[in-house]
Chain A
Amino acid sequence: MIELVFDDRCTHCGKCAEVCPTDVFDWRESHAPTIARQADCHTCYLCEAHCPGDALFVGPLRTPQPVTRDEVLALGVLGNFRRALGFDTHEPGSYCYGEPVIEPVGARAIPEPRERGGANAPIYAALAVAAQRGLIDVSGERAPIDREVLLDQL
């Protein structure tokens, strides 16, 4: 659960109050947020992920975990979740957090090589069912998509 806001680190951007899915914070322009509804926090850490000042501390318990500012500072964890996600250096969706190298663990779990932008990767062309029914154009190169195939009408 959200436990502490470090006012001295807060940039007053209001992002935490905007993105918090459970509406935990109250926020006013040019102020640090207040934790107004702690009981509604569901410990997703996403306020921390979006906090540019690393000014928030979420405890890992699903009930309140009384903890002091000094204790949190001593843990040295402020911002560690944001950095683990890569939200400190990348736009969401434009990076991978975690281990970037995925070792193949077996033929079934890993896709075959897929050439980026190559001419011979017409993904849809191989959707045999759709192709047989004439719902997609299987010829030619991999063209930009303006209309995706929807299998619900098959």
Chain B
Amino acid sequence: MSDTQILKFPQQIQVSDYDASYVADVLVIGGGPAGAWAGLAAARAGARVVIAEKGYLGTSGAQAAAGTGAYYIKPDDPEHRSGMINARQPLAFGFSDTAWIEKVYDQSFINQDLMSRWGYAFPRTGDGHYERWGGMRAADAVLFLRRQLEQHGVTILDHSPALELLLADGVAAGAAGVERKTGRTWVVRSGAVVLATGGTAFRSGIAGGHNNTGDGYLLAAEAGAQFSGMEFSGQYAIVPKGSACSKTAVYNAATLTDAHGNEVSRGKGSTIAEIQTGHLYCRLDRYDEGGRDRIQASQPMTFQYFKRYLPIDPFTETYEVEHLLEGTIRAAGGIDVSAGAATTVPGLFAAGDTTSREKLVGANQSGAGPATAWALASGSWAGHSATLFVRRLGAAAATRRVVAAGGDASAGLRPADARRAGVDPDALIASVQRETLPVAKFYRREGVTMQASLERLDGLWRDARAGLAADPLLRGADRARAQLRAREAAAMLTAARHIFVSALERKESRGLHRRADYPVLEDSQFSHVVTDGVDTIRVRRNPVTATHAAQVVRADQEAKAS
């Protein structure tokens, strides 16, 4: 939406302009675990569902590449419940909400129970009787959910990125996109839309992260949705030097040393060591023999580095590692959703990593256990809520007049001025990466540096808005891929600008937001940073309503009173 135009000429959508057209009750954009569960929940509630996935539903997304554990709480075991609920509360810096955590993990239990009943083989204990839930394996967990979607009659559009949302009087009413392998255009008209497009690591190179360019942020921002906690994004993983593999379980039993051979702790210690001494080294020397076998069997991706590139024994020999950005894929910030996974835009719901997870994990990292539980739970809620929304809309939903959410000046699709060949999406993405990937800049932030970053990004945004578009001479798949790339560049710019606006607003250090100029926690900053907007990004503060915070305050007061 343009912030400057007085008269708007919204881009009207004609179904006949598209090669393929679909009608659905619920359209889900994104086919990772959250999108799959949204589709399942909606289909099981009786909705006709279309899922549009940029890649292939089953292999796309961070989860399918990395595999994750999913937290859950056993309904009838108070010890287990309180243990899991409280596990990360101290790391949340007051932003987590105990009742919300409980609800998310309860829903995760239900969904994993369903997966087990449907036949997903969770790992088993030695005697074969006890399933160990939580083990959502890479490569087969989302693929398994794909089989369930197929059995539920859900229409899956693979290799079909959504390029823009459709709105009917401000209500989400579908999306339009392309099939990138053929260049065919498609439009889905729906009664509600679920965004499950994941977070973004700004293409740092982490395994499974290439498609995660923050597309949902762009779609949501254009529709008018608000974001929360985007400053909680400075999350880095340790990877072997040059590797893509951000699986970090192995470092639980590792010794990390800086360039001078001094041992450092994992996390802040190792990150500062890499920034200050230039190198970080690792040896997996705390495994016993059984542990070595188990970790190699359960982390098949991690050890390919030593089988295919660096022929050493990582259990006895030292090798170089480095920090690689995971960004909002594993941090907390994202699209603000309320109960039922509703965004602030009617008819638009959101699930998984693309949403803010502050109520679940506060100011800290979300993954993988909480993030996967959240993907399952919020996916179900979004799909269910979307279905209820469609029921309330009734038959009128299909005949509404729809317009493109980005209007007639949508960055990367319909530039405000004429297309300029010099505004190149790859160059834009490289520029965004210069502001977001370097650990020295993005891990520990500084006001003046961030202000300069934001000004550069705002300038790039103006360029993109004015002249970014695919070469009109391109045809077929080449054109579709060029359009996608332009929209991805616009999405990454949008994500980065929301992050820097939020990070400048939060004048303290809290969780994943660390500032050199405001190095400590400030009571005055104990509120959410909320943003919205496309051309102009507006920022404001919302009070924390978390029950955990309230309990802490009450406990303090009671302690003082007695």
Contacts and interface: CB of A to CB of B under 8 A. Distances in A.
Interface of A: 1, 18-23, 40-46, 49-50, 58-63, 65, 75, 77, 80-81, 84-85, 87, 92-104, 107-108, 110-116, 123-124, 126-129, 145, 147-154
5 contacts: A23-B180, A44-B208, A62-B243, A96-B124, A103-B125
A104 B125 contact: yes
Given A77-B308, A127-B75, A148-B44, 9 more contacts: A18-B158, A21-B208, A23-B181, A45-B304, A62-B244, A81-B300, A102-B123, A126-B74, A153-B340
B339 A152 contact: yes
A77, A95, A98, A114: residue with the most chain B Cβ atoms closer than 10 Å: A98
Nearest to A116: B129
Interface stretch (B2-10, B131-139, B278-286, B530-538): B131-139
Contacts of B133: 111
A78 B74 CA distance: 42
A42 B243 CA distance: 10
Given A42-B209, A62-B244, A93-B141, A102 B124 contact: yes
Contacts of B83: 108
Interface stretch (B109-117, B397-405, B513-521): B109-117
Given A23-B180, A113-B129, A85 B117 contact: no
Contacts of A98: 123, 137, 294, 297-300
A82 to B, nearest CB: 9
A18, A41, A92, A116: residue with the most chain B Cβ atoms closer than 10 Å: A92
Interface in B2-57: 41, 44, 54-56
B114 to A, nearest CB: 6
Nearest to A146: B44
A46 B121 CA distance: 19
Contact of B244 (A43, A112, A145): A43
A44, A46, A80, A154: residue with the most chain B Cβ atoms closer than 10 Å: A44
Nearest to B107: A151
Interface residues of B, number: 87
A102 B120 CA distance: 17
Nearest to B204: A62
Interface of B: 41, 44, 54-56, 58-61, 64-65, 74-77, 79-80, 83-84, 103, 106-107, 109-111, 113-114, 117, 119-126, 129-133, 135, 137-141, 143-144, 147, 158-159, 180-181, 205-211, 240, 242-245, 293-294, 297-301, 304-305, 307-309, 339-341, 377, 380-381, 384-385, 481
Contacts of A93: 119-121, 140-141, 143-144, 147
B62 to A, nearest CB: 9
Contacts of B84: 108
Contacts of A124: 110
Nearest to A121: B113
A111 B300 CA distance: 25
Contacts of B245: 43, 60
Contacts of A43: 205, 207, 243-245
B139 A59 contact: no
Nearest to A49: B139
A23 B147 CA distance: 21
A72 to B, nearest CB: 8
B159 A23 contact: yes
B206 A42 contact: yes
Contacts of B377: 151
Contact of A128 (B75, B109, B299, B304): B75
A21 B242 contact: no
Contacts of B208: 21, 42, 44
B64 A61 contact: no
Sorted nearest first, the 6 A-B pairs with minimum C-beta distance are A21-B55, A93-B144, A62-B205, A152-B381, A43-B244, A42-B210
Contacts of B207: 42-45
A80 B299 CA distance: 13
Given A23-B55, A152-B380, A99 B301 contact: no
Contact of A61 (B65, B125, B243): B243
Given A46-B65, A93-B144, A152 B385 contact: yes
B103 A151 contact: yes
B199 to A, nearest CB: 14
Contacts of B125: 101-104, 110
Contacts of B55: 20-23
Contact of B64 (A44, A112, A151): A44
B297 A150 contact: no
Given A46-B59, A60-B305, A102-B125, A154 B103 contact: yes
Nearest to A41: B210
B309 A114 contact: no
A4 to B, nearest CB: 11
B385 A110 contact: no
A84 B59 contact: no
Contact of A99 (B122, B141, B297): B297
B144 A60 contact: no
Contacts of A92: 139-140, 143-144, 147
A103 B123 CA distance: 11
A36 B17 CA distance: 30
A152 B64 contact: no
Contacts of A45: 65, 207, 301, 304
A62 B120 CA distance: 31
B304 A60 contact: yes
Nearest to A152: B381
Contacts of A85: 137-140, 300
A113 to B, nearest CB: 5
Contacts of A60: 240, 243-245, 304-305, 308-309
A151 B110 contact: yes
B242 A100 contact: no
Nearest to B300: A84
A107 B121 contact: no
A148 B120 CA distance: 17
